[in-house]
Amino acid sequence: MNRKVSVAPMMDCTDRHERYFLRLISKNTFLYTEMIVDEAINRGDKKKLLEFNINEKPVALQIGGSSPKLLAEASKIGEDFGYDEINLNLGCPSKKVEKNKFGACLMKEPNLVADCLSKMQASTNLPITIKTRIGYDNVEDYENFHNFISTLKSTGIKTFIIHARKAMLGKFTPKQNLNIPPLKYDYVYKLKKDFPNEEIIINGGITSVDEINEHLKKTDGVMIGRAAYHTPYLLADIEKEIFQNEKIPSRQEVIENLIPYVKEELKKGTRLNQIMRHTLGLFHGQTGSNFWKRYLSENLCVRDADIKKIDHIMDKVKLAPQTRLAGQID
């Protein structure tokens, strides 16, 4: 499993449409689902929650929960649906998540987490991984972080994805938790030194290929989050510079390749805006990027958007150089 670079699980972002779109840009970046609660997987509409396009692979299913039994059952269901990995969320800091006892609050209960991981591993042949933070509230010393990881390692877990910030439980909003607690990359670097045989992946505030390369000198992999969503063509640079793949589609080609998927999804009842909202940042930094966002927002990201408008915009985009977007569309 190549987790050298991955895109983080992000609520309301990394759904199946976003993952298909990102896969058109990068063939090698490892992708993750949004977090799905174990109880929803076990008792909800499994097809609606878990079905994905085979072209998204490799893709991991991230699960939230704290019941060893429910997590084990959800992991087996994830395997049956064809996912490549099951990831346990130990990093989400929201009040709602804490109330339901999953996410970062579980850092307070390492033995419960270890039990969950043991049961999950026993239920499936897929690799079980975790995504967590370096601490929570006032518990932010390296020793406590090290001991937490050591407890989880004792279950046989090999891959640890670390968001290099602590979680402020119930004090900050999820957005504030992504910005206010300071990044402590040195904790993750030290963790790799202390656990040289485990796969340690760093996450948090990473926005460029240069930064990725620097982190890869001291860790096994890098997970990017908001940068991948807001500037998705960053994955093209990653594909070329990190994975040494020269066959990179232009931005226009990405949209051209997305259209057949869009048309098939519309036949299934998917709304156009559910897909196209993920493409807003495709032309970030390019001439005409503001126009692209405005056109999508006014025409393709509205509830009753018309598929014909995609063909209309592509007629204009094809006339533009690869590094630019047509400045005007009638």
Burial of 217 (0-12, 13-18, 19+ CB in 10 A): exposed
13, 92, 116, 301: the active-site residue: 92
92 flagged as catalytic: yes
Contact by Cβ (8 Å): 202, 162: yes
According to DSSP, the β-strands at 5-7 and 31-37 are unpaired
Contact by Cβ (8 Å): 71, 130: no
Give the single-character DSSP code of 42: H
Angle, nearest 10°, between helix axes 251-267 and 308-317? 170
Burial of 197 (0-12, 13-18, 19+ CB in 10 A): exposed
Structure tokens at 1: 């499993």
Q: Give the full edge-to-edge strand order of the sheet including 159-167.
A: 5-7, 221-224, 199-203, 159-167, 128-136, 85-90, 59-64, 31-37
CA distances from 269 to 11, 18, 265 (A): 22, 17, 7
Residues designated as active site: 92
